[in-house]
Amino acid sequence: MVRSSLCHVPSINWLGDTCWSKLAIVLVAQFGAGQIGLIFLAALKAIPSTLYDAASLDGAGPWRKFWYITLPLLTPTILYDIIIGIGLGLQIFAPAYIMTGGGPLNSTMFTALYIYKNAFEYSRVGFAAALSGILFVINAALAIVIFWSSKFWVSYYIE
């Protein structure tokens, strides 16, 4: 690490060090998390306040309201966000391509970037198409498993 002159705080080579480059891309990708936050906010606003009022009349505290009203009614939104998050996470491309191009030492060579480089830089289009098919199968298999497991933890009503 290189020492900076300001307060002798070590500076970090975010994009040039293999230890920090993935973290840098993950931190940049967090700027896209606002849409998931917006979806959660809409789901929270959709929960009727009468349920909380009735729970208060029954003597429920904040934790009981959360565990028995809020969380069960948010499970469909959580399911949606898990499916979207896995799909987007497996297909991360733009931050890695723009910031590092897959380097340093291929430490940020995510699957979608690897497919792109094989297709358009190395002219191995068939190989890239096969990798795309494999990525689709993995993504679909994960979605199917999550949808199958959702019958055990997603509730669409309150009992």
Establish if 107 belongs to a structural domain: yes
pLDDT in tens, 76-125: 999 999 999 898 888 889 999 999 999 899 999 999 999 999 999 999 99
115 part of a folded domain: yes
- In a domain, residue 122? The reply is yes
What does pTM read for this prediction? 0.81
Number of domains present in the structure of the chain: 1
Closest CA relative to residue 84, chosen from 44, 133, 32, 134: 32
**Residue 12, in any domain of the structure:** no
- Distance in angstroms (rounded) separating the CA atoms of residues 50 and 56: 10
Residue 54 lies in a domain: yes
Cα atoms in the 13 Å half-sphere on the side-chain side of 30: 6
Residue 28 within a domain? no
What does the pLDDT look like over 11-24, one tens digit per residue? 889 999 999 999 99
Enumerate residues 6+ apart whose C-beta is below 8 A from 137: none
Domain containing 45 — which CATH number?
1.10.3720.10
Give me the domain span that covers residue 144.
Answer: 34-153
